[in-house]
Copies of this chain bind each other. A is one copy, B any other.
Amino acid sequence: MNEESMVKEINIALLGLGTVGMGVYKLVQRRKNQLPKKLGCSVKVKRILVRNASKIRDGVDNDLITDSWDDILSDDSIDIVVEVMGGLEPAGTYIKQALDAGKNVVTANKDLIAVEGHELLVRAAEQKCDLLYEASVGGGIPVLRPLKQCLAGNAIDTVLGIVNGTTNYILTRMTEDGMEFDEALAKATDLGYAEADPTADIEGLDAGRKLAIMASIAFNSVVTFENVHTEGITRITSTDIRYADAMDCVIKLLAVGKEEDGQISVNVYPMLVPKNHPMASVNDSFNAVFVHGDAVDDAMFYGRGAGELPTASAVMGDIIDISRNLLQNCTGRVGCTCYRNLPIKPLGEVKNCYFFRLQVEDKPGTLASISSVFSQHNVSIKQVIQKPAKKHGSELVVVTDFVKEKDFTKTLEALKHMSMVYEISSVIRVYA
């Protein structure tokens, strides 16, 4: 037997052959000659599960295609199941059955991991199998492995990110080109950045799922999607963005995870971000994840949060990691690291600074009356600018100090009931 024929072969099965599946297929082919030298084994796509097996697919070996999950599940030569079909079912069932059959799993499925991640990781551990999901957050950007391994020596108190490319593209167009939301969304749809039904993106649900996944790892405590409060960007106007600019800020949809007072807060909402913060210059469809730990201080990971090959890059990293474990007989090497069980902080208790605009009557005592409403609710003002309004009265542009959401909400209610207050607008939290 010559040396080459002795190289071990790792067999993978792809579940799904959409954008990410094709990317993984292409990348495995492209790296065919390098992997044996780099890893000491070759990686081969043995089977591909699709819904319609009769469809002709350019550039894909048709013998690999099957529409039968059982073909894969019962094939003992398949070491790694790569789930890139998305959605909760049947992906969830397939992954569980694969793990129960002792197969290792790589998935890019944020919907599933954000809901059932912990349960699946426990199941993987019982089988001494790997379940890796780097591609589920930040596309090609290495985020989860760095958090779980490189920064494992830290107590992390903050993990926040721009983790949805669609909304970041829309906000960038609104900022750079002065577009309104609808126009920018239409452009994102034209370019294929936004799906036909953009709800999950523009309402912050996609970012919320990714935050649940990141927060579980960062804080070593299970966080699921239902724990995350989500707000989208549909109410952001080009006026808001101009005002943000005047405050030397940009508006970004941030997924913010924090541990404080023994609780975890996980919230997705648009925020004013100071231009000198590294997150402020993350533009277009790029993503970034920012972390603060007690040892590492600030760190940030930046790159392509979606797309065929960037996402395939993350999936391939996981496949290679598992291959190394298979060669060393140590799959299941890094399992779930959620050894704590921290409560989720209710939104009302979360502290933020707030930016907003008030259109008020222009008469003596207005500012004093309004100020007294703030102080009654224990809200400190960081900055207030009064100027003539366009139509009538004055405009007050206010930035508060840190205040609990519930106290701020009460303050706004009180202001709304004042006769001298015509309108309250542009209420946006400030990242500080």
A298 to B303 Cα, complex, angstroms: 6
A283 to chain B, nearest CB (A): 8
Known: A38-B339, A149-B317, A317-B152. A140 touches B328 (CB 8 A): no
A197 to B372 Cα, complex, angstroms: 59
Stretch at the interface among A307-315, A380-388, A402-410: A307-315
Contact digits for A253-266, partner B, Cβ 8 Å, 1 yes 0 no: 00000000000000
A338 to chain B, nearest CB (A): 9
Q: With an 8 A cutoff between CB atoms, is A237 at the interface?
A: no
Is chain A's binding surface mostly helix, strand, loop or mixed? mixed
Q: Which residue of B lies closest to A128 (CB)?
A: B328
Measured between beta carbons, the chain B residues less than 8 angstroms from A164 are none
A328 to B330 Cα, complex, angstroms: 6
Measured between beta carbons, the chain B residues less than 8 angstroms from A30 are 155, 294
Report yes or no: A296 in contact with B304, Cβ–Cβ below 8 A. Answer: yes
Measured between beta carbons, the chain B residues less than 8 angstroms from A334 are 324
A31 to B325 Cα, complex, angstroms: 27
Report yes or no: A295 in contact with B316, Cβ–Cβ below 8 A. Answer: yes
A332 to B40 Cα, complex, angstroms: 13
Q: With an 8 A cutoff between CB atoms, is A134 at the interface?
A: yes
Measured between beta carbons, the chain B residues less than 8 angstroms from A145 are 145-146, 149-150
A211 to chain B, nearest CB (A): 20
Report yes or no: B302 in contact with A278, Cβ–Cβ below 8 A. Answer: yes
- Of B142, B307, B337, the residue contacting A38 (CB under 8 A) is B337
Report yes or no: B140 in contact with A313, Cβ–Cβ below 8 A. Answer: no
Q: Which residue of B lies closest to A282 (CB)?
A: B278
Q: With an 8 A cutoff between CB atoms, is A400 at the interface?
A: no
Question: Considering residues A27, A151, A314, which has the most beta carbons from chain B within 10 angstroms of its beta carbon?
Answer: A151
Measured between beta carbons, the chain B residues less than 8 angstroms from A313 are 151, 153-154, 293, 295-296
Measured between beta carbons, the chain B residues less than 8 angstroms from A333 are 324-325, 328, 330, 333
Report yes or no: B299 in contact with A300, Cβ–Cβ below 8 A. Answer: no
Q: Which residue of B lies closest to A281 (CB)?
A: B281
- Of B294, B302, B328, the residue contacting A309 (CB under 8 A) is B294
Q: Which residue of B lies closest to A290 (CB)?
A: B302
Report yes or no: B281 in contact with A149, Cβ–Cβ below 8 A. Answer: no
Report yes or no: B153 in contact with A312, Cβ–Cβ below 8 A. Answer: yes
- Of B27, B296, B310, B324, the residue contacting A303 (CB under 8 A) is B296
Beyond contacts A34-B155, A297-B309: 4 other A-B pairs, Cβ-Cβ < 8 A, are: A37-B339, A142-B146, A154-B316, A325-B333
Mind listing 26 A-B residue pairs with CB under 8 Å? A34-B220, A38-B339, A140-B296, A142-B301, A145-B145, A145-B150, A146-B146, A150-B317, A152-B317, A152-B321, A153-B312, A153-B316, A153-B320, A278-B281, A296-B310, A297-B304, A297-B310, A298-B304, A300-B300, A300-B303, A301-B302, A328-B332, A328-B333, A329-B330, A330-B330, A330-B333
